[in-house]
Amino acid sequence: MSEKKVPFDKELLYKISQREGTPFYIYDGKAIVDNFERFKKAFSWNSDFRNYFAVKALPNLNILKMLGERGSGSDCSSLPELKLSKEAGITGERIMFTSNDTPNEEFIEAYRLNAIINLDDITHINALESAIKGFPETISFRYNPGKERTGNVFIGNPVEAKYGVTKDQLFDCYKIAKQKGAKHFYLHTMVASCELKRDFIVQTANSLFSLVKKIYDETGIRIEGVDLGGGIGIPYTPDAEEMNLELLSKEIKELYDRIIVKNGLAPLKVFFECGRMITGPYGYLVTKVRHVCHKYKDYVGLDACMADLMRPALYGAYHHITVLGKENEIKDHKYDVTGSLCENNDKFAIDRPLCKIEKGDMLVIHDAGAHAHAMGFNYNAKLRSPEFLVNPDGDILKIRRRETFEDYVAPQLFNPEKLEF
Ligand SMILES: *Cc1c(COP(=O)(O)O)cnc(C)c1O
């Protein structure tokens, strides 16, 4: 097992903790940008290739701006996400609006921003039309393959999924949208989550490319682009291997040549909307040990808790832990690593082999760059942690301050408003 490394100078983390306290999140901007560029380069054979970064993975303006400046799109599914994207300078067709159970105001804002609106249901064609009092020239549909595909533990089985239109409905969707005035058509699916098997993603490309042909054959409608969704996984455990993007691209290109080019359906834009794969490995939760307790088991109590990072408690997810400054000590102890919530599942790790840990040690929790801070919550009146970004120039930026009691309590009315009807 190779040990996961912390890319920052230890002294820097100590200095930040002295000035700003713990816990905090810190992101490696250069690694994020390099990874994003590598993804783009791998798919450069497709001249319109784009990754729409899933805003929900890391909804911080500075991160979105950093990616947006380099040509990233954004994948939004709510009004605040649309607004964040706009604030970060990502608008127009660089926004993919993939919502479900969508309220009118979100259709209206997505249309106003000229986003690609990706409809989740056949009834949403009329819902969109009545919301915006017209119909967009560009439209996309989210396809649910039903029993043709299987899911995994994170995303579940497509037949059970609330998302997307069925194969039968799909053809009608495009025909109706065309009658309503649409001129540019896209096709989307999202069947993977945290998937490290290349073949699974290649299968998705196969299924969408084949559908592009079928839609053309049956309706005469030319699909201009396919969005293969997000869901490319990252290696959370030290022995897992990251997705080989170059091989993934090569295998998808072979299908593209065979299904799209050969049938005269090129050019076809290829999109992804990965969040986790872009930022996940490059974010770290830095936290300090408050107490080491010996009960029936040995416990390490941190100043971070499940409200900072809920993946371990939610899915039993593995997040690697480095004890700063003790990287080379033997892991001859075993601990449950906990937070301070009044919930027994508030644990970052269970029976984790670690070196001997003492009060005051600083721990770095890895792979916290996506679906981490974003999933945070305020239960037990826990206040959200600050976020720092070491940008590609090496500057250390505070991109979100620590939440205060005043922030937490702001929506509560000490002088209640009496509703009189
Ligand atoms: C969550 C989500 C994504 C991003 O998933 P990752 O696992 O972060 O790549 C992309 N598209 C849709 C529609 C999603 O719901």
Which pLDDT tens digit goes with each residue over 177-188?
999 999 999 999
Q: How confident is the model at residue 225 (pLDDT cuts 50, 70, 90)?
A: very high
- Please report the sign of the dihedral spanned by the C-alpha atoms of residue 335, residue 341, residue 345, residue 348: negative
Average pLDDT value over all residues in the chain: 96
Q: Which ligand 1 atom minimizes the distance to the CA of 192?
A: 7
Q: Is the CB of 279 under 6 A from ligand 1?
A: no
Q: How many CA atoms lie within 13 Å of 90's alpha carbon, on the beta-carbon side?
A: 33
SS3 assignment, position 186: strand
101: left (phi over 0), alpha (psi -120 to 50) or beta: left
Q: How confident is the model at residue 161 (pLDDT cuts 50, 70, 90)?
A: confident
pLDDT in tens, 28-49: 999 999 999 999 999 999 999 9
pLDDT at 1: 52
Q: Is the CB of 58 under 6 A from ligand 1?
A: no
Q: Is the CB of 73 under 6 A from ligand 1?
A: no
Pocket test for ligand 1, best of 50, 72, 75, 248 (most atoms within 8 A of CB): 75
Rg of the chain, C-alpha, whole Å: 23
- Cross-strand partners of 185: 139, 223
Q: Look-up: residue for tokens 């064609």?
A: 125
149 pLDDT higher than 90: no
Q: How confident is the model at residue 211 (pLDDT cuts 50, 70, 90)?
A: very high
366 pLDDT higher than 70: yes
- Please report the sign of the dihedral spanned by the C-alpha atoms of residue 106, residue 107, residue 108, residue 110: positive
Dump strand ranges (E) for 190-259: 223-227
9-16 contacts, C-beta under 8 A, 24 or more apart: 10/324, 10/325, 12/396, 13/286, 13/324, 13/362, 13/364, 14/362, 16/286, 16/388, 16/396
Tokens representing 171 are 């053809």
Amino acid at 258: R
| 297, 349 Cβ separation under 8 angstroms | no
154 pLDDT higher than 80: no
DSSP string computed for 62-77: HHHHHHHTTT-EEEE-
CA of 231 to the centre of ligand 1 (A): 6
- Residue 187's nearest CA partner among 79, 268, 276, 72 is 268
Tokens representing 98 are 């993939």
Cβ-based neighbours of 126, under 8 Å, separated by 6 or more:
none
pLDDT in tens, 5-25: 999 999 999 999 999 999 999
pLDDT at 192: 87
Q: Is the CB of 191 under 6 A from ligand 1?
A: no
For the packed helices 104-112 and 79-87, what is the interaxial angle rounded to 10 degrees? Answer: 20
Task: Name the closest-CA residue to atom 3, ligand 1.
Answer: 230
Residue 89 to residue 160: CA distance in whole angstroms: 36
Q: Is the CB of 195 under 6 A from ligand 1?
A: no
Q: Which ligand 1 atom minimizes the distance to the CA of 273?
A: 10
Residue 384 to residue 373: CA distance in whole angstroms: 8
Q: Look-up: residue for tokens 């994170």?
A: 154
pLDDT in tens, 240-291: 999 999 999 999 999 999 999 999 999 999 999 999 999 999 999 999 999 9
Q: How confident is the model at residue 206 (pLDDT cuts 50, 70, 90)?
A: very high
Q: Is the CB of 389 under 6 A from ligand 1?
A: no
Q: How confident is the model at residue 148 (pLDDT cuts 50, 70, 90)?
A: confident
Residue 370 to residue 279: CA distance in whole angstroms: 6
Residue 61 to residue 53: CA distance in whole angstroms: 12
| 60, 83 Cβ separation under 8 angstroms | no
Residue 143 to residue 358: CA distance in whole angstroms: 52
Q: Is the CB of 227 under 6 A from ligand 1?
A: no
| Share in percent of the chain as helix, strand, coil (round to 5) | 35, 20, 45
Taken as a whole, the chain contains a residue count of 421
What is the DSSP pairing of strand 138-143 with strand 298-302?
Answer: unpaired
Q: Is the CB of 369 under 6 A from ligand 1?
A: no
For the packed helices 245-255 and 29-42, what is the interaxial angle rounded to 10 degrees? Answer: 30
